[in-house]
Amino acid sequence: MPRIDAPTVAEHRAQQRRAILDAARALLAEHRRAPTLAATAQRAGLARSSIYRYFASQEELLAAVVADVFPAWAATIRSRVEEAHGPGEKVWAYVRANLDLFTSPEQDVATALSEVVDPGILREPVEAFHAELRRPLVAALAELGEPCPDLAADVVEAAILPVARALTADGSTLDPDDARAVLRRLLGGYLGL
């Protein structure tokens, strides 16, 4: 068991796991695509093969990254929706909360995760948490009398993405208020706002 820098092995393990997770998250945010294990390992300061001591596969590692980020995100959205009064307001609160998250300090990961609708390795872990995250939206839509709340929720969420992308694009000069206004106009009739 080569060089251990923490007092105990258990702590060392926790530190290494964190280092790998952080490295993967940073690379995901930078490149907006699933990071390679080689790059992740280099950034975390260990050998590529050693990653497998902590995660069974690249997919599991990425799922762990997602699991690391989503809970706080979901909690924020849920509370924002709960603060709103009436189903239409709740849907709008959901939309705004999402847009705010995309332009928040966690913007990098949030954007990257959504950008990567990759049919590849990131898709499955992201979608698992997605189902959890969108529950308040589905509920609000059902309350609005929408016969297909799940499908409608898909549509609303899909509509949010391009706006978020436009807001976080590199040389974007788009005013956040204008961006919100586009969504508001588009979904406005439905929301009764």
Residues at the contact surface with a second copy, assessed by CB under 8 A: 32-33, 115-120, 146-148, 151-152, 154-159, 161-163, 165-166, 174, 178-179, 181-183, 185-191
What minimum distance in Å lies between the beta carbon of 168 and a second copy?
Answer: 13
In angstroms, rounded to a whole number, what is the distance separating the alpha carbons of residues 30 and 23?
Answer: 11
What minimum distance in Å lies between the beta carbon of 76 and a second copy?
Answer: 23
Based on the shown chain and the rule CB under 7 A, indicate whether residue 53 belongs to the binding site for DNA: yes
In angstroms, rounded to a whole number, what is the distance separating the alpha carbons of residues 140 and 149?
Answer: 8
Region from 54-62, 67-75, 101-109, 183-191 binding DNA, contact rule CB under 7 A: 54-62
Q: Using the rule CB under 7 A, which residue among 21, 23, 29, 37 binds DNA?
A: 37
Q: Buried b / exposed e across 20-50, counting CB within 10 Å, b at 16+? A: bbebbbbbbbeebebbebebbbebbebeeee
In angstroms, rounded to a whole number, what is the distance separating the alpha carbons of residues 1 and 62?
Answer: 26
Which of a second copy, DNA, none has residue 128 at its interface (CB below 5 to 8 Å by kind)?
none
CA nearest 23: which of 54, 3, 178?
Answer: 54
Give contact residues for DNA (rule: CB under 7 A): 1-4, 8-9, 12-13, 16, 34, 36-38, 46-50, 52-54, 56-59
